[in-house]
């Protein structure tokens, strides 16, 4: 298991189960052949080196809903389980907080506070806004449930259409009407770079992009251009690259959070 887990919380497990920290350097780690169940950290290269050495491995349990970073490295006969549903509350609350923060212009208020400058401004209202949710799985539904009381118009989008849910191929028609676009889609070959220059050009001027999915869903260069031109705003929980280097221009991009 990753070292960021509190191992003392697992004290109720049967005594025959041995818990070990996932090695920092799998290539030089001690014998891994006895491992039967692994919870890997989100470090694709290290995980790819470690899994072939786990000759008795039976189950891989990720602590993330997305498994695109791991699926190609799963040995034959091993069961891969994701953490669907585990992060619904935390992620959906962050999405709502990000939308409210940018709608009420809190980053600007904080800048004024730090500068000791009194400068009145008019925060916007969320009520009546159209929120496009791209990726309507369990987290998307949790976001919708938390936004509904604010009086917004919700437009859910998934790969396949169903009652009340639009199909992804309709995005070019739906994006221009959205005040907020929330990205919650999994990272696949179809969704990589989904938010490119054309997508951003379709977004309504002044609208907000919220990415709580995977950084690679967004073309970072195109996003930086859109932000620098003041065409849209963005709240990013994930980036590409990630972690974001200290000198990356996204840190200081206007209207980003």
Torsion 234-223-72-4 (CA) sign = negative
Per the listing, tokens 């987290």 go with 139
41-80 pLDDT, tens digit per residue, is 988 889 999 999 999 999 999 999 889 999 999 999 999 9
Q: Nearest Cα to 93, choosing from 145, 150, 158? A: 145
Give percent of the chain with pLDDT exceeding 70: 99
- Which pLDDT score, from 0 to 100, does residue 255 have? 67
Distances (CA, A) of 183 to 143, 149, 152, 168: 11, 20, 17, 12
DSSP string of 116-178, one letter each residue: T----------TT-EEEEE--SHHHHHHHHHHGGGTPEEEEEESS-BTTBEEGGGHHHHGGG-
Task: Name the DSSP class of 105.
Answer: T
Check if the beta carbon of residue 208 is closer than 8 Å to that of residue 124.
no
Would you list the domain boundaries of the chain? Answer: 7-81, 88-252
* pLDDT beneath 70, residues of the chain: 255-257
Give me the CATH topology for the region 88-252.
Rossmann fold (3.40.50)
- Which pLDDT score, from 0 to 100, does residue 225 have? 97
- Which pLDDT score, from 0 to 100, does residue 129 have? 98
H-helix segments, the chain? 44-50, 88-103, 106-115, 138-147, 171-174, 197-202, 220-228
- Which pLDDT score, from 0 to 100, does residue 256 have? 55
- Which pLDDT score, from 0 to 100, does residue 36 have? 96
Distances (CA, A) of 254 to 137, 139, 190, 223: 31, 28, 29, 11
């Amino acid at each position: 298991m990753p070292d960021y887990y509190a191992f003392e919380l697992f004290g109720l497990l049967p005594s025959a189960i041995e818990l070990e920290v996932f090695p920092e350097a799998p290539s030089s780690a001690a014998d891994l052949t006895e491992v039967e169940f692994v919870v890997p950290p989100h470090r694709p290269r290290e995980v790819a080196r470690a899994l072939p050495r786990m000759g008795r491995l039976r189950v891989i349990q990720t602590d993330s809903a997305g498994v695109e970073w791991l699926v190609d490295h799963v040995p034959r006969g091993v069961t891969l389980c994701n953490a669907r549903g585990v992060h619904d509350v935390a992620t959906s609350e962050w999405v709502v907080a990000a939308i409210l923060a940018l709608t009420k212009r809190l980053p600007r208020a904080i800048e004024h506070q730090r500068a000791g400058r009194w400068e009145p401004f008019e925060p916007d209202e969320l009520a009546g806004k159209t929120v496009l949710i791209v990726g309507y799985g369990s987290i998307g539904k949790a976001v919708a449930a938390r936004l509904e009381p604010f009086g917004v118009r919700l437009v859910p989008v998934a790969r396949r259409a169903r009652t009340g849910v639009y199909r992804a191929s309709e995005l070019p028609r739906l994006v221009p009407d959205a005040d907020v676009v929330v990205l919650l889609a999994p990272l696949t070959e179809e969704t990589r770079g989904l938010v490119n220059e054309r997508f951003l050009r379709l977004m309504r001027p002044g609208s907000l992009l919220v990415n709580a999915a995977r950084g690679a869903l967004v073309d970072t260069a195109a996003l930086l251009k859109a932000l620098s031109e003041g065409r849209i705003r963005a709240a990013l929980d994930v980036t590409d690259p990630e972690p974001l280097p200290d000198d990356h221009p996204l840190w200081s991009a206007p209207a980003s959070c």
